[in-house]
Amino acid sequence: MKVLIVDDEEMIRNVLREYIEFDGGEADEAQDGMEAVKKCRENDYDIVLMDVMMPRLDGFSAVKEIKKYKDVPAIMLSARGEEYDKLFGFEIGSDDYVTKPFSPKEVIARIHAVVNRTKGAAERAPRDQYEFEGLKIDIAGRNVYVNGERAELTPKEYELLFYFVENRGVALTRERLLNKVWGYDFYGDDRTVDTHVKMLRGNLKEYRKFIVTLRGLGYKFEA
Protein backbone atom coordinates (compact mmCIF):
# COMPACT_ATOMS: atom_id res chain seq x y z
CA MET A 1 0.00 0.00 0.00
CA LYS A 2 1.41 3.36 -1.07
CA VAL A 3 0.43 6.43 0.97
CA LEU A 4 1.06 10.11 0.24
CA ILE A 5 1.43 12.14 3.44
CA VAL A 6 0.70 15.84 2.94
CA ASP A 7 1.46 18.15 5.89
CA ASP A 8 3.53 21.28 6.37
CA GLU A 9 4.78 19.98 9.73
CA GLU A 10 7.81 17.73 9.26
CA MET A 11 7.35 16.06 12.64
CA ILE A 12 3.85 14.87 11.73
CA ARG A 13 5.07 13.56 8.38
CA ASN A 14 7.90 11.68 10.08
CA VAL A 15 5.60 10.08 12.68
CA LEU A 16 3.06 8.97 10.09
CA ARG A 17 5.79 7.65 7.79
CA GLU A 18 7.25 5.60 10.63
CA TYR A 19 3.91 3.98 11.46
CA ILE A 20 2.99 3.37 7.82
CA GLU A 21 6.32 1.70 7.08
CA PHE A 22 6.11 -0.33 10.30
CA ASP A 23 2.69 -1.50 9.09
CA GLY A 24 4.31 -2.71 5.86
CA GLY A 25 3.28 0.21 3.67
CA GLU A 26 5.23 2.64 1.54
CA ALA A 27 5.12 6.39 2.25
CA ASP A 28 5.77 9.45 0.12
CA GLU A 29 5.63 13.04 1.37
CA ALA A 30 4.53 16.50 0.27
CA GLN A 31 4.89 19.74 2.25
CA ASP A 32 1.88 21.57 0.83
CA GLY A 33 -1.14 21.22 -1.44
CA MET A 34 0.68 22.35 -4.59
CA GLU A 35 3.34 19.68 -4.18
CA ALA A 36 0.64 17.09 -3.41
CA VAL A 37 -1.23 17.85 -6.64
CA LYS A 38 2.00 17.59 -8.64
CA LYS A 39 2.95 14.26 -7.02
CA CYS A 40 -0.51 12.78 -7.61
CA ARG A 41 -0.25 13.72 -11.29
CA GLU A 42 3.08 11.93 -11.57
CA ASN A 43 2.47 8.93 -9.30
CA ASP A 44 -0.25 6.49 -8.24
CA TYR A 45 -1.18 6.21 -4.57
CA ASP A 46 -3.61 3.96 -2.74
CA ILE A 47 -4.59 6.80 -0.42
CA VAL A 48 -3.68 10.39 0.48
CA LEU A 49 -3.43 11.80 4.01
CA MET A 50 -4.15 15.51 3.52
CA ASP A 51 -3.65 18.25 6.11
CA VAL A 52 -6.23 21.04 5.76
CA MET A 53 -4.36 24.19 6.84
CA MET A 54 -1.25 24.55 4.67
CA PRO A 55 0.55 27.37 2.84
CA ARG A 56 0.28 27.92 -0.94
CA LEU A 57 -2.71 25.58 -1.39
CA ASP A 58 -4.97 24.30 1.41
CA GLY A 59 -5.93 20.64 1.73
CA PHE A 60 -9.54 21.06 0.64
CA SER A 61 -8.51 22.79 -2.60
CA ALA A 62 -5.79 20.20 -3.20
CA VAL A 63 -8.23 17.28 -2.84
CA LYS A 64 -10.71 18.96 -5.21
CA GLU A 65 -7.94 19.39 -7.79
CA ILE A 66 -6.64 15.82 -7.42
CA LYS A 67 -10.15 14.34 -7.73
CA LYS A 68 -10.54 16.03 -11.13
CA TYR A 69 -8.15 13.55 -12.73
CA LYS A 70 -7.54 10.74 -10.23
CA ASP A 71 -10.03 8.82 -8.10
CA VAL A 72 -7.71 8.28 -5.14
CA PRO A 73 -9.26 8.12 -1.64
CA ALA A 74 -8.28 10.89 0.79
CA ILE A 75 -8.34 11.30 4.57
CA MET A 76 -8.33 14.89 5.84
CA LEU A 77 -6.13 15.77 8.85
CA SER A 78 -7.11 18.93 10.71
CA ALA A 79 -6.95 20.69 14.06
CA ARG A 80 -10.40 22.06 13.23
CA GLY A 81 -13.00 19.56 14.34
CA GLU A 82 -16.13 21.61 13.81
CA GLU A 83 -19.02 19.86 12.09
CA TYR A 84 -18.98 22.40 9.26
CA ASP A 85 -15.36 21.57 8.39
CA LYS A 86 -16.05 17.83 8.41
CA LEU A 87 -19.14 18.18 6.24
CA PHE A 88 -17.27 20.40 3.79
CA GLY A 89 -14.50 17.82 3.61
CA PHE A 90 -16.97 15.09 2.66
CA GLU A 91 -18.68 17.36 0.15
CA ILE A 92 -15.47 17.96 -1.80
CA GLY A 93 -14.76 14.23 -2.00
CA SER A 94 -12.71 13.22 1.03
CA ASP A 95 -13.38 9.75 2.45
CA ASP A 96 -12.66 10.37 6.14
CA TYR A 97 -11.75 13.18 8.53
CA VAL A 98 -9.34 12.89 11.48
CA THR A 99 -9.00 15.65 14.05
CA LYS A 100 -5.60 16.62 15.46
CA PRO A 101 -4.06 15.64 17.80
CA PHE A 102 -4.59 12.08 16.67
CA SER A 103 -3.28 8.64 17.50
CA PRO A 104 -1.06 7.31 14.68
CA LYS A 105 -2.54 3.85 15.32
CA GLU A 106 -6.02 5.26 14.72
CA VAL A 107 -4.85 6.82 11.45
CA ILE A 108 -3.45 3.45 10.32
CA ALA A 109 -6.74 1.76 11.18
CA ARG A 110 -8.67 4.41 9.23
CA ILE A 111 -6.33 4.01 6.25
CA HIS A 112 -7.07 0.28 6.11
CA ALA A 113 -10.81 0.87 6.51
CA VAL A 114 -10.97 3.43 3.68
CA VAL A 115 -8.73 1.44 1.30
CA ASN A 116 -10.66 -1.80 1.90
CA ARG A 117 -13.99 -0.02 1.45
CA THR A 118 -12.80 1.64 -1.76
CA LYS A 119 -11.41 -1.58 -3.23
CA GLY A 120 -14.57 -3.46 -2.29
CA ALA A 121 -16.73 -0.91 -4.07
CA ALA A 122 -14.54 -1.05 -7.16
CA GLU A 123 -14.72 -4.83 -7.30
CA ARG A 124 -18.50 -4.76 -6.99
CA ALA A 125 -18.97 -2.07 -9.60
CA PRO A 126 -20.14 -3.39 -12.96
CA ARG A 127 -17.64 -3.18 -15.79
CA ASP A 128 -18.28 -2.50 -19.46
CA GLN A 129 -15.47 -4.57 -20.96
CA TYR A 130 -13.98 -7.97 -20.22
CA GLU A 131 -11.20 -9.97 -21.80
CA PHE A 132 -10.58 -13.69 -21.31
CA GLU A 133 -7.69 -14.92 -23.45
CA GLY A 134 -8.85 -14.25 -27.04
CA LEU A 135 -12.45 -13.56 -26.04
CA LYS A 136 -13.29 -9.85 -25.72
CA ILE A 137 -16.68 -8.72 -24.50
CA ASP A 138 -17.89 -5.13 -24.76
CA ILE A 139 -21.17 -4.93 -22.85
CA ALA A 140 -21.82 -1.22 -23.44
CA GLY A 141 -21.28 -1.57 -27.18
CA ARG A 142 -22.92 -5.02 -27.33
CA ASN A 143 -19.94 -6.46 -29.18
CA VAL A 144 -18.18 -9.79 -28.74
CA TYR A 145 -14.86 -10.59 -30.41
CA VAL A 146 -13.37 -14.07 -30.82
CA ASN A 147 -9.67 -13.92 -31.69
CA GLY A 148 -10.14 -10.43 -33.10
CA GLU A 149 -13.19 -11.26 -35.21
CA ARG A 150 -16.62 -9.98 -34.26
CA ALA A 151 -19.05 -12.75 -33.34
CA GLU A 152 -22.60 -12.44 -34.65
CA LEU A 153 -24.88 -13.34 -31.77
CA THR A 154 -28.64 -13.18 -31.41
CA PRO A 155 -30.02 -10.65 -28.89
CA LYS A 156 -30.72 -13.42 -26.37
CA GLU A 157 -27.23 -14.88 -26.84
CA TYR A 158 -25.77 -11.46 -26.03
CA GLU A 159 -27.90 -11.17 -22.91
CA LEU A 160 -27.07 -14.71 -21.85
CA LEU A 161 -23.32 -14.21 -22.30
CA PHE A 162 -23.37 -10.84 -20.52
CA TYR A 163 -25.24 -12.39 -17.58
CA PHE A 164 -22.75 -15.27 -17.44
CA VAL A 165 -19.79 -12.88 -17.43
CA GLU A 166 -21.24 -10.52 -14.82
CA ASN A 167 -21.85 -13.55 -12.58
CA ARG A 168 -18.65 -15.41 -13.40
CA GLY A 169 -17.73 -18.07 -10.89
CA VAL A 170 -21.33 -18.35 -9.69
CA ALA A 171 -23.36 -21.54 -10.18
CA LEU A 172 -26.46 -20.50 -12.14
CA THR A 173 -29.51 -22.74 -12.26
CA ARG A 174 -31.55 -23.00 -15.45
CA GLU A 175 -34.50 -21.48 -13.56
CA ARG A 176 -32.43 -18.45 -12.55
CA LEU A 177 -31.21 -17.99 -16.12
CA LEU A 178 -34.78 -18.16 -17.40
CA ASN A 179 -35.92 -15.57 -14.87
CA LYS A 180 -33.02 -13.15 -15.37
CA VAL A 181 -32.47 -13.42 -19.13
CA TRP A 182 -35.93 -14.24 -20.44
CA GLY A 183 -38.01 -12.69 -17.66
CA TYR A 184 -40.38 -13.96 -14.99
CA ASP A 185 -43.33 -14.04 -17.39
CA PHE A 186 -41.59 -16.37 -19.85
CA TYR A 187 -43.35 -19.71 -20.22
CA GLY A 188 -40.50 -21.69 -21.71
CA ASP A 189 -38.69 -24.59 -20.04
CA ASP A 190 -35.13 -25.73 -19.32
CA ARG A 191 -34.64 -26.76 -22.94
CA THR A 192 -34.82 -23.10 -23.94
CA VAL A 193 -31.73 -22.38 -21.84
CA ASP A 194 -29.88 -25.46 -23.07
CA THR A 195 -30.60 -24.62 -26.72
CA HIS A 196 -29.31 -21.06 -26.40
CA VAL A 197 -26.24 -22.17 -24.46
CA LYS A 198 -25.48 -24.66 -27.25
CA MET A 199 -25.76 -21.91 -29.90
CA LEU A 200 -23.72 -19.49 -27.81
CA ARG A 201 -20.96 -22.05 -27.32
CA GLY A 202 -20.83 -22.61 -31.06
CA ASN A 203 -20.28 -18.89 -31.68
CA LEU A 204 -17.57 -18.67 -29.03
CA LYS A 205 -15.57 -21.44 -30.74
CA GLU A 206 -12.68 -22.62 -28.54
CA TYR A 207 -13.79 -20.30 -25.76
CA ARG A 208 -16.88 -22.40 -25.29
CA LYS A 209 -14.75 -23.98 -22.57
CA PHE A 210 -15.56 -21.02 -20.29
CA ILE A 211 -19.22 -22.06 -20.03
CA VAL A 212 -19.12 -25.11 -17.77
CA THR A 213 -22.09 -27.47 -17.43
CA LEU A 214 -23.10 -28.33 -13.88
CA ARG A 215 -24.91 -31.67 -14.13
CA GLY A 216 -28.40 -31.61 -12.69
CA LEU A 217 -28.15 -27.88 -11.93
CA GLY A 218 -27.23 -25.49 -14.72
CA TYR A 219 -24.10 -23.65 -15.81
CA LYS A 220 -21.17 -21.59 -14.60
CA PHE A 221 -18.85 -19.19 -16.41
CA GLU A 222 -15.26 -20.01 -15.41
CA ALA A 223 -12.32 -18.13 -16.93
Could you report how far apart the first and last alpha carbons of the chain are, in Å?
28
The whole-chain average pLDDT of the chain stands at 89
Question: What is the rounded average pLDDT of the residues 34-58?
Answer: 94
Q: What is the CATH number of domain 129-221?
A: 1.10.10.10
pTM value is 0.57
pLDDT of res. 154: 87
pLDDT in tens, 110-167: 999 888 877 765 555 556 889 999 999 998 888 999 999 999 988 889 999 999 998 9
pLDDT of res. 156: 87
pLDDT of res. 126: 59
Distances in whole angstroms, Cα of residue 7 to Cα of each of 17, 102, 204, 210:
12, 14, 54, 50
In the predicted model, is pLDDT for residue 75 greater than 70?
A: yes
Contact indicator for 208, 199 with CB cutoff of 8 Å? no
In the predicted model, is pLDDT for residue 6 greater than 70?
A: yes
Structural domain boundaries of the chain? 2-123, 129-221
Contact indicator for 151, 203 with CB cutoff of 8 Å? yes
pLDDT of res. 91: 80
| Euclidean distance between CA atoms 187 and 20, whole angstroms | 59
At the second CATH level, the architecture of 2-123 is 3-Layer(aba) Sandwich (3.40)
